[in-house]
Homo-oligomer: A and B are copies of this chain.
Amino acid sequence: MSILVVGTVAFDAIETPFGKTDKIIGGAATYICLSSSFFNNKINLVSVVGEDFPDSAIQTLKEKKVDVTGLQIKKGEKTFFWSGKYHENMNRRDTLETQLNVLENFNPIVPEEFKKSEYLMLGNLMPSVQKKVLSQMKKKPKLIVLDTMNFWMDLFMDDLKEALKEVDVLTINDEEARQLSGEYSLVKAAKIILSKGPKCVIIKKGEHGALLFNEKEVFFAPALPLEEVCDPTGAGDCFAGGFIGYLAKTDDISFENMKRAVINGSAMASFCVEKFGTQKLTEINQSDVDFRVKEFVNLVNFEI
């Protein structure tokens, strides 16, 4: 099944206790597409970059069967840039610099042939942009997943709440779930979030795993215990990409299958953090992914 992916394609500069990068390729949609590509070969990208964005990076996406028809390249403008620094506890980070550049006036245009995509992944972006994409779809996708962050809640909570009404699955981290719900307990937070529209919510807890809730059930997937987490940037996006990629591949949106999708998403996130930026994602192959999923089975499997 086809997936429409909307989100940033960007430059990042990252500092972690393990090192520092200059400008490298990043952005939510980049990570989502790369991650989804291990499951699916009908990935439709809608995003925007400046003319400073290297053609080689677009080529990499094309090689992964990502359709870049919907990637706007703005002449005379610059690509979105983010730089951040992670602390030893890599669940915390400081933003050092944000240059919105092409994002400032981003008007997403969904190409005709993308408007019937069966799965829709609204990556982390201004809620108003996410809404504009929703309004362009010709038929309601089978599943709409939306990712967001505290930054948008601080600035555009009303827009976000509007978008949430149309969404099937919200992915969000633990602190953001608390902010959105006003509840500290994640179980209570999930209930409140589900009352705002989404049928499911996935609360991402970084190195502490992820919780999937629907109205009646809850499922937990751990993060893989790794010797070293080099760079957490993009882990949540890789998770989302693996999640929706697996669902679109299997074309089954039952809760049971969402559990498997969460495990596959967690596997993709575990690769992402092993090297800086998108590097690891470009090095692994399908058998690496299969093997890692088995590691997750061994990690949590017990017979009672």
Chain A interface residues (CB < 8 Å from chain B): 88, 184-188, 205, 208-209, 211, 217-222, 225-229, 256, 259-260, 263, 293, 297-300, 302-304
Contact = CB atoms under 8 A, between A and B. Distances in A.
A211 B225 CA distance: 9
A299 B225 contact: no
25 contacts: A88-B184, A185-B226, A185-B227, A185-B228, A185-B229, A186-B225, A187-B225, A187-B227, A188-B228, A209-B209, A209-B222, A211-B225, A218-B299, A219-B300, A220-B299, A220-B300, A222-B222, A256-B302, A256-B303, A259-B302, A260-B302, A260-B303, A263-B304, A297-B304, A300-B300
A300 B266 CA distance: 13
Contacts of A228: 185, 188
Contacts of A184: 88
A150 to B, nearest CB: 17
Contacts of A259: 302
B185 A299 contact: no
What are the 7 tightest A-B residue pairs by CB atom distance, in nearest-first order?
A: A208-B208, A259-B302, A220-B222, A187-B227, A300-B300, A187-B225, A220-B299
Nearest to A225: B187
A210 to B, nearest CB: 10
A226 B263 contact: no
Contacts of A186: 225
Contacts of A225: 186-187, 211, 218, 220
